[in-house]
Amino acid sequence: MSVEEALEKYGPSEITREDIVEMDDPGFAPENVALVTGAASGIGRATALCLAGNGLTVAGVDVDGDGLESVADRAAELDLPGRIEPVPGDLTDDADVERVVEEAADLGQLRYLANVAGLQHISSIDEFPMEQYDRMHAVMQRAPLLLTKRCWPHFEDGGRGHVGNMCSVHGHVVTHDKVAYNTVKFGLRGLTQSIAAEGDGDVRAFSVSTGYVKTELVAKQLPDSADSRGLTVDETVEQVMLGHTRVKEMMEPYEVGNLFVMGFSEHSKHLDGGDLTYEGGMSLTYE
C-alpha cells in the first residue's frame, strides 16, 4: 500500500459542524481565549476547531504558518461561533513561547491552554539519537511547563485557568522503540498533577490519553512500519495498533478535540489532575 493509499484509508476525515460537540458553558465565549499548540494539523487542528466551535477565540500556535492559515480558513468556512487566530511560533525557543502567550492574551482573556503539539521517533534505546530525544522533550514536556508558567499570571488575572495536556496510552503502558515518546508522556501526567496541586482549584489541569488516532502523521508512517514487520498495512493496523484494544477502530482527531471541550467545560469541574483515558481498553486488556 502506498503512502497516498494509506492516507486515503487511515487518514483523518474533514471536520464538519456535526462532528463538534457543543457544550453549554458561560466561559465558552469570544472574549475568552484558548491557546492551542500543534494547531496546524492533526489533533491540534481538530482541537482548535472544536474549541472555536464552542464560541472561544483560539490562538493557534505552530511552526507551520501555512497550516495555521488553513485551519483558520476552515473555521471561517464552517461559520463557527468562535474564530481561530494564527500565531506562528517555535516551542523550542523560550522567547517565542513568551511572545505567543502575550499575543494570545492580546486577543482577550486567556483562560485555556491545550498542550497538543507532538512528534514521534522510532528507534531502539541503544540506537536512539539523543538530539531527537532532546527535541521531543523540548516540544512535548518542557514547552507545556513553560507555557503554563507564562499563562499563569493571565489565569490569575481572570480568576480561573484551565490546562489540558495531550498525553497518550503510552503514558500508561509502553511499547518497544519509543523510549522518548513513552518517557515524555509519563512525564506529562506528572506535570498535569503538579499544575493541579499548585492551582488549588483556581487553575485546573487534566490530561487526555488516547490510543491510535487517524492523523496524517500516523497514516504516512504505516507503509514503512508495515514493511519493517513484514506485514501489510491492514495487518499492521489490525494486529499491531488495534490488536490489544477492545474497540477495533482508530479514533478520529475531532473525537479527541471534543475531549478537550469536555475537559475545559464547567461540567468537568471535578476533573483536576486526572486523566481522560480513551484508548479502547488497550491498557486494561490482558491476553
So which residues are the catalytic ones? Answer: 181
Helices 94-105, 143-158: crossing angle, 10 deg rounding: 30
Euclidean distance between CA atoms 65 and 62, whole angstroms: 7
Beta bridge partners of 203: 161
Whether the CB-CB separation of 20 and 53 falls below 8 Å is answered with yes
Helices 42-52, 65-77: crossing angle, 10 deg rounding: 40
Whether the CB-CB separation of 237 and 214 falls below 8 Å is answered with no
- C-alpha grid cell for residue 168? 497518550
CA 55, 11, 263, 62 torsion-angle sign: negative
* 145 to 92, 148, 192, 270: CA distances (angstroms): 12, 5, 9, 22
Euclidean distance between CA atoms 64 and 76, whole angstroms: 19
**In a 10 Å sphere around its CB, with 0-12 CB exposed, 13-18 middle and 19+ buried, how is residue 273 labelled?**
middle
Euclidean distance between CA atoms 185 and 162, whole angstroms: 19
Q: DSSP label at 280?
A: T
**Total residue length of the chain:** 287
